[in-house]
Amino acid sequence: MDKKGFVYLVGAGPGDPGLFTLKGKAVLAKADVVVYDRLVSSQILAWAPSNAELIYVGKKSGNHALPQEEINALLATKASEGKMVVRLKGGDPFLFGRGGEEALYIREKGFAYEVIPGITSAIAVPAYAGIPVTHRDNSSSLTIVTGHERPDKKESSINWELLGASDSTLVFLMGVENLDFIVNNLMNNGKSEETPVALIRWGTLPEQEILAGKLNDIVTKVKESNFKPPAVIVVGEVVDLRHSLSWVENKPLWGKRIIVTRARAQASDLVAKIRELGGEPIEFPTISIEPESNYLALNNAFNNVSNYDWLIFTSVNAVKIFFAKLREDKKDIRHLARLKICAIGPATRKELEDKGLIVDNMPDEYRAEGIIEELKDKIKPGEWVLLPRARGARSLLPEALKDLGANVNEILIYKAVAEKRVSEDMFAQIVKGNIDYVTFTSSSTVENFVNIVGLENALKINNKAKIAAIGPITAKTAETKGFTVDIIAKDYTINGLIAAIMADVKL
């Protein structure tokens, strides 16, 4: 066990990225190689380092990307290269996940490993469907059974006689294709044909679908509705509690698929809010933030900062880069003591407050026009304004400040460029068009979205989904690109955008 490589067997949980464990996420963030299964979400995979090698080994009925023996060998091979390998498995690796087989093989080959359990779908999926697997009035025990045992197997490893006589809640995993076999075995062994049954498809995800019935009719219902796997099967009286205990379907954005086009580094708030409200955020970053290559002008401003009267920030990005460079220049907020500070909106203000600064002015309207209105009676002729901001921003603000008599030093400290790392799988999903909303948070996100997907595809998406813009400037850019803008946030913030989408959902 003195070999250098290391393998983590990690349970990815039932699907909802929020149910991935903290320890699993921490390990994934340091992986050299990620070997993952079919039901591991793209959001979880996005937490792996950008330079990590991602290897898909998913299994689907009748179609295995890689046989189990080859998966075992792959883990050992990657470990033999001295790499940190994360084996990501849906649910829990030791519950019908063949994690035990992989662990034995890894140990036999002389490599160290660690198991990081995951939340099993056997409990989480029913919970999201409003079904407690135990309840003292209905069931005091839980039996988890593989639904994948072959019907033609000569000797079953499942004690059907015991299951048929049991009052335990029964949960079958991977059993939709064997449902007829499961149902008949239960009824033939004493289980009442009136026993409630629920099939929960894509449990814990916004696509979650529930089909309920009884043992004597559930097979017919599945065929009539063309209900497809993957799904968890729950058998027992607890199933009927879902009528009283359903909760996730009541969330305001439940089932809505929403494209987030913000830069990856900025998208977390919007993604988290969508997910919290029951929607499915589809991260498709169209821009990335690149600092400028030359900071001579900014360094010169730092050295002469006492000559300025105002410091105006029009974005969170500008704040972050400005203060990173201030620190590199071995200066801190004490050098800004005499400046009055203006922030374009609450997110930018919060970023400044987190730096220990108090913002003197923030406009009611969170755009350049709002700043001008806010400062028109406050900036005095001859005062100096330091304006660090993005290359390509509208010229309206510096020109208007000059018209007020101010001396404006506009310094370009970053640029928003088109995102180069575009997921082919995500691209295909978006173009296919199973989308409810597309969110645009700046003109750059609009322009780059069109550049990435192509004008023809963008117009197809426009016909299938509603377009939501964070404000009128962004909306105008979208309209010039051929989009029909359905929603414009009244409050030009992420919260305002979310509120506008929720209002639309209620219509």
Q: What's the CA gap between 93 and 287, in Å, rounded?
A: 36
Of the three residues 403, 418, 433, the one that is the final residue of a domain is 418
Q: Which two tokens stand for residue 206?
A: 């916004």
- CA 109, CA 112: separation in Å to the nearest integer? 9
* 268 shares its domain with 296: no
Q: Is residue 320, in this structure, part of any structural domain at all?
A: yes
The tokens for 123 are 């409990």
Whether residue 157 is contained in a domain is answered as yes
Tell me the per-residue pLDDT of 218-261, one tens digit each, with 9 for 90 and over. 999 999 999 999 999 999 999 999 999 999 999 999 989 999 99
For residue 151 the two structure tokens come to 């019907």
Average pLDDT over residues 481-490: 96
Are 137 and 31 members of one domain? no
Assign residue 22 the CATH number of its domain.
Answer: 3.40.1010.10
> Does 206 reside within a domain?
yes
130 lies in the same domain as 202 = yes
Same domain, 19 and 136: no
Residues 131 and 246 in one domain: yes
What pLDDT score was predicted for residue 60? 63
**In this predicted structure, what is the pLDDT of residue 30?**
97
Look up the CATH number of the domain holding residue 486: 3.40.50.10090
Q: pLDDT tens for residues 180-226? A: 999 999 999 999 999 999 999 999 988 899 999 999 999 999 999 99
What are the residue ranges of helices labelled H in 304-345? 316-328
Per-residue confidence band for 336, with pLDDT thresholds at 50, 70 and 90: very high
Average pLDDT (264-290) is 87
Burial of 326 (0-12, 13-18, 19+ CB in 10 A): buried
The residues pairing with 171 across neighbouring beta strands, listed in sequence order, are: 144, 234
- Digit-coded pLDDT (tens) for 143-175: 999 998 766 777 788 999 999 999 999 999 999
Whether residues 224 and 134 share a domain: the answer is yes
Token output for 436: 């409810």
Are 242 and 201 members of one domain? yes
Q: Does position 418 have pLDDT exceeding 90, yes or no?
A: no
- Look at residue 46 in the predicted model and tell me its pLDDT: 87
Q: Helix H segments across 32-152?
A: 42-45, 68-80, 99-108, 121-128
Is 36 a member of any domain?
A: yes
Edge to edge, the sheet with strand 437-440 lists: 280-283, 257-260, 437-440, 466-469, 485-488
- Which residue intervals of 13-133 are DSSP H helices? 22-28, 42-45, 68-80, 99-108, 121-128
User: Is 1 a member of any domain?
Assistant: no
Is 451 a residue whose pLDDT tops 80?
yes
- For residues 481 and 447, is the Cβ–Cβ distance under 8 A? yes
**How far, in Å, CA of 458 to CA of 126, rounded?**
38
Instruction: Give the residue among 307, 290, 315, 260 at the shortest CA–CA distance from 449.
Output: 260
Are residues 347 and 494 in contact, defined by beta-carbon separation less than 8 angstroms? yes
Order of strands across the sheet that contains 33-36? 53-56, 33-36, 84-89, 6-11, 112-116
Number of structural domains in the chain: 4
Q: What is the mean pLDDT of residues 111-115?
A: 97
DSSP state for residue 440 in the 8-state scheme: E
Which of 225, 250, 275 is at the close of a domain?
250
Return the pLDDT at 61.
57
The verdict on residue 204 lying in a domain is yes
Q: Can you tell me the distance from the alpha carbon of 3 to that of 110, in angstroms, rounded to the nearest whole number?
A: 7
The answer to whether residues 440 and 407 belong to one domain is: no
Same domain, 161 and 310: no
Over the stretch 127-145, which tens digit does the pLDDT of each residue have? 999 999 999 999 999 999 9
Q: Which helix (H) or strand (E) holds 140?
A: none
**Residue 199 in contact with residue 175, Cβ under 8 Å?**
no
Least confident of 75-84, 102-111, 421-430, 435-444: 421-430
Q: Which residues share a beta bridge with 386?
A: 311, 409
Are 282 and 43 a contacting pair, CB within 8 Å?
A: no
Residue 274 lies in domain: 257-286+419-506
Which residues have C-beta within 8 Å of that of residue 327, sequence separation ≥ 6? none
Instruction: Look at residues 484, 476, 477, 503 and name the one whose alpha carbon lies nearest to residue 438.
Output: 484
Same domain, 405 and 333: yes
The highest-confidence range among 64-68, 284-288, 462-466, by mean pLDDT, is 462-466
Q: Is residue 221 part of a domain?
A: yes
DSSP 357: -
Report, as residue numbers or ranges, the catalytic residues.
37, 59, 174
Could you tell me if 475 and 450 are in contact, meaning their C-beta atoms sit under 8 angstroms apart? Answer: no
How does strand 466-469 pair with strand 485-488? parallel
Does 53 score more than 60 pLDDT? yes
Residue 416: band (very low, low, confident or very high) from pLDDT cuts 50, 70, 90:
confident
Please tell me whether residues 244 and 297 are part of one structural domain: no
State which of 418, 449, 484 marks the end of a domain: 418
Q: Is residue 468 predicted with pLDDT exceeding 90?
A: yes
Confidence of residue 1 (pLDDT cuts 50, 70, 90): very low
Of 60, 39, 91, nearest in space to 207 by CA:
39
Using CB atoms within 10 A of its CB, is residue 63 exposed (0-12), middle (13-18) or buried (19+)? exposed
Positive or negative, the Cα torsion across 430, 431, 435, 439?
positive
Flag whether 230 is in a domain: yes
Query: Exposed (0-12), middle (13-18) or buried (19+): which is 338, by Cβ within 10 Å?
Result: exposed
Tell me: do 279 and 211 sit in the same domain: no
What is the pTM for the complete model shown? 0.77
Least confident of 117-126, 306-315, 352-361, 415-424: 415-424
